[in-house]
Amino acid sequence: MKIIVLLKRVPDTEAKILINSEGSGINEEGVKFIINTYDEYAIEEGLKLKENVGGDSTVTVVCMGPEESTEIIRTALAMGADNAIHICDAALDNPTPDMTATLLAKAIKNNGFDIIFCGKQGIDYDMAQTQAFLAEKLDIPQVNIISEFAISDDNKKAFLVRSIEGADEKVEADLPVIISCNKGLNEPRYASLPGIMKAKRKEIKKLTLTDLDSSGVPAEKDSTIIKWLSLPKSGECKIIEGEDFGEKVVELARLLREEAKVL
C-alpha cells in the first residue's frame, strides 16, 4: 500500500507573530519553525496504517516548501516514514492552494498512491483548501477533520469519524482517498534515537518546477493580500477589588449585567 503524508513547515504555535516592517508579511526573525501541528497526526496515522497493513507498504512524505523544510522532513523520516519528496524551487513564493495542489498532484501521481493523509489546515494561512484542490485534481474523495480512522480488511474502504459542530459525523469512503487529520486522532510518536540514526540513510527526492513539468500550473496568482493587520490593542482589564471573593462576584455580576450588558 502506498501511503502519502503531506507536510508543511510553519511557525511554532507558541511564537508571537508580528508584521514585518514593510507590512508585506510576517517578521520571521527569531521565529522557530516546526512541522505543521496537524501534520504530525497525519504522519502518525500513516505510520500506524503501514504497521497494520504490513507487507511492502511504504509511507512517503511529500513536502512543498523552502530549502529549510529539510529539517521537518528528516524528523518525519526519523518518526518512521520510508522516504520523502521535497518540492523546492526558488520560484515558488507563497503559492496559492491551486498552484500547490497542482504540483503536489503531479508528484503524487508519479509516485503512486492509495491513501493520502494531511493536516486539517496549515496553521499559518489557515485556509484548509489545498486538500480539496488536490482531491479534485487527483479525482478522489476527501474527508476532512477526522478524529477516528479505520480501514476495511481488503484495504478498499475507510471508516472515518469527522468532527462537526456539536457532533461526530461517521463517513465511509472508498480508497484512494485524501484524509485531513485533527488533533485527538492519535498521539504522535516522538522521533526515537534509532529512528534519527536511520533517517540519515533515507532518501529525500528533491524536485524543482522543471523536474515536475510545470504545465497546468497557474502562472498567475488568483488573489493578493493588500494589507496585513495587527489585532487591535486590548483595553485595560478591570480587576475587581473586594474584601473577599463574595464581594468580588457581586460586583462582577453587576458589571456584566449593567456595564457589559451580556447577562
Q: Could you say which residues in the range 43-82 bind other proteins, by CB under 8 A?
A: 71, 74-75, 78
Closer residue to other proteins (CB): 151 or 191 = 191
Closer residue to other proteins (CB): 5 or 135 = 135
Binders of other proteins among residues 2 to 41 (CB under 8 A) are 11, 13-17, 19, 26, 37-38
109-128 mask for other proteins (x: CB under 8 A)?
--------------xxxxxx
What is residue 198's three-state secondary structure?
Answer: helix
Confirm or reject binding of residue 100 to other proteins (CB under 8 A). no
Cα 194 to Cα 1, 7, 40, 84, 199, distances in angstroms? 24, 22, 19, 18, 9
- Residue 109: CB minimum distance to other proteins, A: 16
Confirm or reject binding of residue 248 to other proteins (CB under 8 A). yes
- Rounded distance, CA 214 to CA 40, Å? 29
Confirm or reject binding of residue 252 to other proteins (CB under 8 A). yes
Cis peptide before 176 (omega within 30 of 0): yes
Question: Which among 47-55, 60-68, 86-94, 162-170 is the span making contact with other proteins, rule CB under 8 A?
Answer: 162-170
What is residue 39's three-state secondary structure?
Answer: helix
Closer residue to other proteins (CB): 15 or 151 = 15
Q: What is the DSSP string of 102-134?
A: HHHHHHHHHH--SEEEEESS-TTT----HHHHH
Confirm or reject binding of residue 226 to other proteins (CB under 8 A). yes
- Residue 67: CB minimum distance to other proteins, A: 13
Q: Are strands 83-87 and 58-64 parallel, antiparallel or unpaired?
A: parallel
- Residue 108: CB minimum distance to other proteins, A: 15
Closer residue to other proteins (CB): 55 or 235 = 235
Q: Which of 191, 206, 208, 209 binds other proteins (CB under 8 A)?
A: 191
39 touches 73 (CB < 8 A): no
Category of 30 on φ-ψ map: left (φ > 0), alpha (ψ -120 to 50) or beta: left
Q: Cβ neighbours of residue 82 under 8 Å, at least 6 residues apart?
A: 58, 59, 60, 202
Q: Which of 164, 203, 213, 216 binds other proteins (CB under 8 A)?
A: 164
Closer residue to other proteins (CB): 66 or 211 = 66
Q: Which of 94, 197, 203, 213 binds other proteins (CB under 8 A)?
A: 197
Cα 199 to Cα 44, 89, 103, distances in angstroms? 16, 23, 25
| C-alpha grid cell, residue 160 | 472515518
